[in-house]
């Protein structure tokens, strides 16, 4: 289908808008707030270095909100702070590599959510172990629960290792996953 009469800039703006919204919809997937995802989405799709004011204007959010969220995005390495000569404002630009972005987000989630869970699970296991319980560890209920906890631990450890591969060797893993998903 051929283009209607609308001008290109308007179309780009519309697609940009749609993309930012979509990126916001994915925020829960990455475990970040909607606004943080939108800021990142805007920077990713435009590819430009935008000032805080520009971001504020385009997303219709407050000054403080931009500042707080940008800080996290920069800390995480998803966005770079860029200076322009003769301009004292900060500008911000997104990393462009999709695998790198995913790697960062996965690592953050792992650190914040998986690691503490593993610690707690290990603690649960410890409390039900033979060393802690002595003869009582033979109790069928205790044994059953220990088994369930161990199954879970095994599974999560596997996920953890998988995540680690992502972080340590995106490229190699990319190839491996591709092989894995081939017909």
- The C-alpha atoms of residue 81 and residue 79 are separated, in whole angstroms, by 7
Pick one of DNA, its own copies, none as the site partner of residue 96 (Cβ within 5 to 8 A by kind). its own copies
21 makes contact with DNA (CB under 7 A): no
User: How far is the C-alpha of 65 from the C-alpha of 78, rounded, in Å?
Assistant: 17
Site membership for DNA, residue 112 (CB under 7 A): no
Q: Where are the beta strands (DSSP E) in 75-158?
A: 79-84, 87-94
Retrieve residue 75's tokens: 């800390």
CA distance linking residue 160 with residue 118, whole number of Å: 10
Tokens 């190699």 sit at which residue?
172
Q: Please choose which of its own copies, DNA, none residue 52 contacts, taking the beta carbon within 5 to 8 angstroms, the exact cut-off set by kind.
A: DNA
Q: Which of residues 139-168 bind DNA (CB under 7 A)?
A: none
Shortest distance (Å) from residue 142 CB to DNA? 29
- The DSSP element (H or E) to which 10 belongs, if any, is helix 8-25
Under the binding rule (CB under 7 A), the answer on residue 84 touching DNA is no
| Chain position carrying tokens 């996920």 | 159
Contact of residue 63 among DNA, its own copies, none (CB under 5-8 Å per partner type): DNA
The reply to whether 129 sits near DNA by the rule CB under 7 A is no
DSSP state for residue 137 in the 8-state scheme: G
Report the site for its own copies in 69-88 (rule: CB under 8 A).
Answer: none
Q: Report the distance separating Cα 170 and Cα 22, nearest Å.
A: 25
Residues in contact with its own copies by CB under 8 A are 1-3, 8, 11-12, 14-16, 18-19, 22, 25-26, 28-29, 31, 44-47, 96, 98-99, 102, 109, 113-114, 116-117, 120-121, 123-124, 127-128, 131-134, 136, 139, 141-142, 144-145, 148-149, 151-152, 154-155, 158, 161-162, 165, 173, 176-178, 180-181
């Amino acid at each position: 289908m051929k283009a209607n009469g609308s001008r290109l800039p308007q179309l780009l703006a519309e697609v940009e808008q749609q993309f930012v919204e979509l990126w916001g919809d994915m925020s829960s997937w990455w475990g970040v707030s909607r606004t943080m995802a939108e800021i990142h989405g805007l920077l990713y799709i435009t590819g430009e270095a935008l000032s805080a004011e520009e971001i504020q204007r385009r997303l219709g959010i407050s000054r403080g909100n931009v500042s707080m969220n940008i800080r996290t995005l920069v800390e995480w390495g998803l966005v770079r702070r860029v200076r322009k000569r003769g301009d004292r404002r900060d500008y911000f630009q997104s990393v462009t590599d999709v695998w790198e972005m995913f790697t960062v987000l996965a690592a953050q989630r792992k650190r914040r959510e998986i690691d503490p869970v593993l610690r707690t699970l290990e603690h649960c296991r410890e409390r039900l172990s033979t060393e802690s319980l002595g003869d009582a560890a033979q109790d069928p209920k205790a044994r059953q629960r220990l088994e369930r906890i161990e199954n879970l631990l095994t599974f999560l450890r596997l996920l953890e290792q998988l995540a680690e591969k992502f972080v340590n060797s995106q490229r190699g893993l990319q190839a491996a996953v591709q092989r894995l998903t081939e017909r």
